[in-house]
Every structure is written in C-alpha cells, then in structure tokens.
Amino acid sequence: MPELPEVETVCQGLLKATQGLKIAEVVCRRDALRFPLPKGFAAHLSGRRIESIGRRAKYILLRLSGGETLIVHLGMSGRLFIDSDKKKDHAKHDHVIFYFNDGTVVRFNDPRRFGLMDIAANDGIATHKLFKHLGAEPLDEEFSGTYLHAQLQRRKIAVKLAIMDQKLVVGVGNIYASEALYDARISPNRPAHKVTAKEAARLQQSIKKVLRLAIKSGGSSLRDYVRADGELGYFQHHFKTYGREGEKCPNCKGLISKIIQGGRSSFYCPKCQK
C-alpha cells in the first residue's frame, strides 16, 4: 500500500501520539506476518519507552529505551491505527496491538500480511539483512542527478523498473514512479542506460518534487490508506497519470496509456513522454 510519503506521514502521526510513552503490553494475534515475529517479541517490548521515530526506505524505525529499534514495514496493505479512547477492542486483521501506559492503543492491521516487524540493536540497523542493500534516500543530497545517472548507466532494464529498485533508490513505488516520470517527461519504457545526464538530473528533481508534495498532502488515500491519525491523505487528487488510463493528459490533451512492466501497471502519456 504505502510508498515513502505514506510511511513518512505515518511516522509523523506515530511520533506525535506515542513519543515518550511506555509500552504496557503487546498482544500478538498472529505469530507471523511476512516472517515469523522474533521469539519473545511481546514480552521483549513491554516496559520500553518510545524515544524517537525515524524512517529508512519504507521501514518505520521506533527507537526504544534500552538501545533497540522496533522495525515495522507496512507491506502492501498494512495500516497503523491510533486509538486514544482506551478501548481494548480489535478488528479483523489487527495482528499486533500495542497498549501504552496512558491508555493509547496502536493497532497494526494488515489483511495481506506482506508487512513485517523485527527488533534490532540500534547499531545493528545498517547491517541488518533488510537494510544492508538499500540504495539512496531520495530526499537526501546524495540522491543527485549525477548519482542517478551513474546508476541508470549500468542497467538495461526500463527506467521505471530501475527507479523502483530499492538497491538504486528507496521509497519510490508504483504510483510515484509513474508520476515522477511524467513530471520529467521520460517514458517509463526507456531503457535506463539511455537516459541522458540532463534527463537524469531532471528525473531526480521530479522524484524529489513529487515525493515532497505528497508528504505535504499527507500521502495518498486510495483503497485503504489512512494516516495514523485516521485522516485521509489528499495527494491522490494530484495524480496526473496514475489510475488515469484513457483520461486526458493535463499537458497535451492526448490520452494517458496503461502498460504492464514487471507485472505492474504503469501510466504515462506517450506523446509527452519519450
């Protein structure tokens, strides 16, 4: 479900709702999400405080008292709900529930169970199996036109698949890949190594621009994404191509096409994007 802007929005909501709170109890209603939860997961977490919350790629990092980090990935359909009304209730697919000392309840709900949770020492995050092969953060300075061009040069796959590859740049998923390529006027079909330095610079700017605007809008709410505070995101109203097959291109009034790449839908304007 969530790409970087949605995860970032969830992090902000979680921070506001839980920073400084102590975990009183954790209830696991399933022993595995995408992977089995670590042994003694619930007991290990109780009594810890949420010191701060960060993000790497699409992973939410909850830094706990005691020098460890709770890693949460939402997968395709994962959501975190914050309830402040102290009800000890749960809904279908609420797999892990966190009860805090002040009555706050955080429920991890994930119908498809592509999400995951793990616990790692703070200084072990960088070398964690899930993290060690991750590429650049798109909103960091290291993600420059030069970097992107160099990375694209060594790949023969379509540029859309390349920018969705987490080893190259993290956080860009199916929606924002289409949107960024439209903004940069580059066809998703273009072989990565045929993107020029000038275009790569433009694409890097477009990725940053689209992600920043989406974060500002609170992410995109399609089928099931809601912010941690229960509010909807608004960026879906800004989509220029995603989900708009057959509609008019905002730039040339031609029609938006849909193609399948790597088994996933891509949307673009064949006239504006070459």
Which residues bind to DNA, rule: CB under 7 A? 1-3, 6, 34, 57-58, 73, 75-77, 92-93, 111-114, 130, 133, 154-157, 161-162, 164, 166-167, 173-175, 192, 219-225, 233, 262-265
DSSP single-letter state for residue 103:
S
d(CA 8, CA 56): 9
User: SS3 of 54, please?
Assistant: strand
CB atoms within 10 A of CB 27: 15
Of the residues 137, 264, 270, 271, only one is catalytic, namely 264
Q: Which amino acid is at 125?
A: I
Catalytic annotation on 199? no
- Catalytic pick from 3, 68, 179, 199? 3
Shortest distance (Å) from residue 47 CB to DNA:
30
- Give backbone dihedrals phi and psi of 31, rounded to 5 degrees, phi first: -95, 0
Of 3 and 68, CB closest to DNA: 3
2 as an active site residue: the answer is yes
Active site residue 113: no
Site of tokens 């796959």: 157
Which among 48, 56, 58, 190 is annotated as catalytic? 58
2, 5, 138, 188: which one is catalytic?
Answer: 2
Amino acid making up residue 223 = R
Q: Looking at beta carbons only, is 75 or 273 nearer to DNA? A: 75
Task: Judge whether 58 counts as a catalytic residue.
Answer: yes
Structure tokens at 125: 């995050």
Which residues are known to be catalytic? 2-3, 58, 264
